[in-house]
Chains A and B, each alone.
Chain A
Amino acid sequence: MRIALFITCFNDTLYPSTGRAVVRLLERLGHTVEFPVGQTCCGQMHFNTGYRPEALPLVRRFAEVFAGYDAVVSPSASCVGMVRDSHRVVAGQYGDPGLCAAVDAVAPRVYELSEFLVDVLGVSDVGAFYPHKVAYHPTCHSLRMLRVGDKPLRLLRAVRGIELVELAQADSCCGFGGTFALKNAGTSVAMLEDKMRCVGESGAQVLSAADNSCLMHIGGGLHRLRSGVRVVHLAEILAATGEGPA
């Protein structure tokens, strides 16, 4: 199986440790990961802010760069959602039949990390060790766009040493929403406050999720308050073994 990593521009720039964790994890499970260097961005920011024509070249690039792989794995639920649900919309609206066909060929083979591990590789115990008190925030796009269900939690439950704690109102949006956080900063913060309160009440030391964008938003608020809770991407917990960097 030829596996490509779609790192996403956001993780590439701000959270390279998450990408390294995905590589370490998949290699530990006996797979070879390729990183097609022509990749840039899925176009989600442009698409969701209304700049669809600007997303077209990014959709085209994605389809070209990732053609021919059996699986494209990404540590971002919302970018995977963009590829799966919206690349076809952009291609249909502004592209040509060739691009539509290319998108149709690649999009179904793009997986969010927990989907890939559980559905494609058929593992839920990835042999991780992470001795911390962790709360899991199921991000909106993982929950309601990709419908990953409890796959991330199944993976986390199998982690040795972990203490998973309940997060109240877990399925409520954290208020990030991409450019929403800038355009509607006040409402975004009001939602963030409630999410941070639930995180605080959970007693967790670590908040995890399948998307660093939501985690940057929640973690940014938690850090400003000096809450003592840190945010860690799901991939980094699953990659941790107690040996080497965690």
Chain B
Amino acid sequence: MTTTPNGLVWLDTPAFPRAARAALADTALRANLKHATGTIRDKRLAVTGELTDWEQLRDAGAALKRRTLRHLDRYLVELEASVTRAGGTVHWAGDAAEANRIVAGLVEATGECEVVKVKSMATQEIGLNEALAEAGITAYETDLAELIVQLGRDRPSHILVPAIHRNRGEIREIFRREMGRWGRPAPDDLTDDPRALAEAARLHLREKFLRAKVAVSGANFAIAATGTVGVVESEGNGRMCLTLPRTLITVMGIEKVLPLWSDLEVFLQLLPRSSTGERMNPYTSTWTGITPGDGPRDFHLVLLDNGRTATLADTVGRQALACIRCSACLNVCPVYERTGGHAYGSVYPGPIGAVLTPQLVGVEHAASLPFASTLCGACYDACPVKINIPEVLAHLRAEVVEHKRRTHTLPSAEALVMKAAAGVLATPRRLAAAQKAAALAGRLVARDGGIGRLPGPLHGWTDTRDTPQPPAETFRGWWHKNREQS
């Protein structure tokens, strides 16, 4: 698949409104999404509602992230020293290409030509699997949902549940058709029973775990003080990858560093409750460098920038870097619920994707995303680290318009309308004149007191909604007659 140079945006996906149209018409997708987001939403509400200090936890999470990002340079250098002291090797990658080069080089140095992977957004972001394939290295996804996506030659559509757009019937078909090409085939009598599907995946993946000499992971956090890196997961497949192979390579965005081990007290409460709606996730793996006789003998940590320091320079937009990838904002978003993740055309979909993607790739490469929201604020309420997503969306909309102003010689129709509206609203006299014109125009097109379907640029509105005819007398007209002259 072709992406922007830093891997984040799929270039074959059209702008959001058009991509969304296809998704909205897919009835199976709509049903899958409605069911899945609804279920996870209720679970999250139950486990966040039961904590009396949930709001204080959110405040603590937000404050910890804010402080860490302010001193990110210091904590990253401290992390490098701690990881090195513990026997690991730290690599710095400025962008996706550099990170991919580093990882491919590390795998090649082991002489292996396959790796097992722990579910990771950072490696999705840089398109690592594709880069490894070019270097002749096969990467096997081992997270169940990522496996479904990989076998289906599909794209992830959710941060936590990448195959949320698939139902069990579709998964059964993918397993039966594709598993044999990658390794152990699915049994002939495979049903769509979740237990049968999971068992087929277990048997298929077990071969990979026992054979693999190299694993690649992401990280949910890394502790600057101790050099400890951690992965939070549900299935235990991550734990297999993190403990069995000889070499472990972790790719981590630089914003994932936390100062102290004790900071995990906050995030290990916030993350599972916000993401899977569980009190605690089943597997939390942490490792500090290498431990002789236990786990990998070689550990490499690749620290990835890929647009993050540029984002950090934006005083409003930088709060998006506090994201802990829980996907609560996706699950509560009324837009995501209808369109799914593919319409966003990015590794990071949903509300957080709409603020993160344009910042990491530049607003010109994702100009429709900040507008893919009604600014309803459900995401802000759900965010465990209180990222004010509507604030950042509005901020990025201004950047998109500013960028268009700078690069287009002719103003767009929208810009002309906005300019005209600003002129009308500049004085009450002009507003009153425009109101008279609107009332007149309304009378011309209205039937039975309402305006029905209209051709032209307003059809998106009038195709499905009637509009009341503007009344002959405005409020200010009424006030003038009844209050000022009485």
Compute how far the CA of A143 lies from the CA of B422 in the bound complex, rounded to whole angstroms: 28
Judge whether B338 and A144 touch: CB under 8 Å. Answer: no
Q: Which residues of A contact B468 (CB under 8 A)?
A: 14-15, 216, 219
Question: A177's closest neighbor in chain B, by CB?
Answer: B374
> Does B243 sit within 8 A of A, measured CB to CB?
no
Contacts of A51 in B (CB 8 A): 398, 401, 415, 418, 422
Which of A9, A16, A172, A180 sits near B473, CB closer than 8 Å? A16
Q: Which one of A120-128, A148-156, A157-165, A186-194 contacts B?
A: A186-194
Chain A residues with CB under 8 Å of B435's CB are 12-13
Nearest CB in chain A: distance from B2 CB, A: 25
Which residues of chain A from 31 to 83 have any CB-CB distance to chain B below 8 Å in the complex? Answer: 35, 37-41, 43, 45-52, 54-55, 57-58, 61
Q: Does A114 contact B (CB under 8 A)?
A: no
Given contacts A7-B475, A58-B425, A172-B334, is CB(A50)–CB(B374) below 8 Å?
Answer: no
As a 0/1 sequence over residues 185 to 218 of chain A, the CB contacts with chain B under 8 angstroms (1 = contact) are: 1111111100000000000000000000000110
Chain A at the B interface: mostly helix, strand, loop or mixed? helix
Please, how many angstroms separate the alpha-carbon atoms of A46 and B400 in the complex? 13
Nearest-Cβ distance from residue B398 to partner chain A, whole angstroms: 5
Question: Nearest Cβ in chain B — how far from A87, in angstroms?
Answer: 13
Residues of B within 8 A of A11 (CB): 475
Report, as a range, how many residues of chain A touch the other chain: 35 or more
| CB under 8 Å from chain A, chain B span 456-477 | 457-458, 460-461, 463-468, 470-471, 473-477
CB distance from A20 to the nearest CB of B (A): 6
Cα distance A51–B399 when bound, in Å?
A: 9
Chain B min CB distance to A90 (Å) = 10
A119-150 vs B, CB cutoff 8 Å, 1 = contact: the mask equals: 00000000000000000000011011100000
Choice from B24, B371, B470, B477 contacting A183 with Cβ under 8 Å: B371
Asked if B17 and A41 make an inter-chain contact with CB atoms under 8 angstroms apart, the answer reads no
Is the pair A46, B466 in contact by a Cβ cutoff of 8 Å?
Answer: no
In the complex, what's the smallest C-beta–C-beta distance from A89 to chain B, in angstroms?
8
Chain A, residue nearest B400 (CB)? A50
- Which of B114-122, B162-170, B289-297, B377-385 is the interface stretch? B377-385
Write out the residue numbers on chain A whose beta carbons fall within 8 Å of the beta carbon of B426: 40, 57-58, 61
Interface of A toward B, CB cutoff 8 Å: 7, 9, 11-17, 19-20, 23, 35, 37-41, 43, 45-52, 54-55, 57-58, 61, 86, 140-141, 143-145, 171-173, 175-192, 216-217, 219-221, 223-224
23 A-B residue contacts at CB 8 Å? A9-B425, A13-B438, A14-B468, A14-B470, A16-B473, A37-B480, A38-B428, A40-B428, A46-B422, A50-B370, A50-B398, A50-B400, A50-B401, A51-B401, A57-B426, A58-B425, A144-B377, A173-B378, A178-B374, A179-B371, A182-B458, A187-B17, A224-B464
User: Which residues of B come within 8 Å of A, CB atoms?
Assistant: 16-17, 20-21, 24, 334-335, 338-339, 370-378, 380-381, 394, 397-402, 414-415, 418-419, 421-422, 425-428, 431, 435, 438, 450, 452, 457-458, 460-461, 463-468, 470-471, 473-480, 483
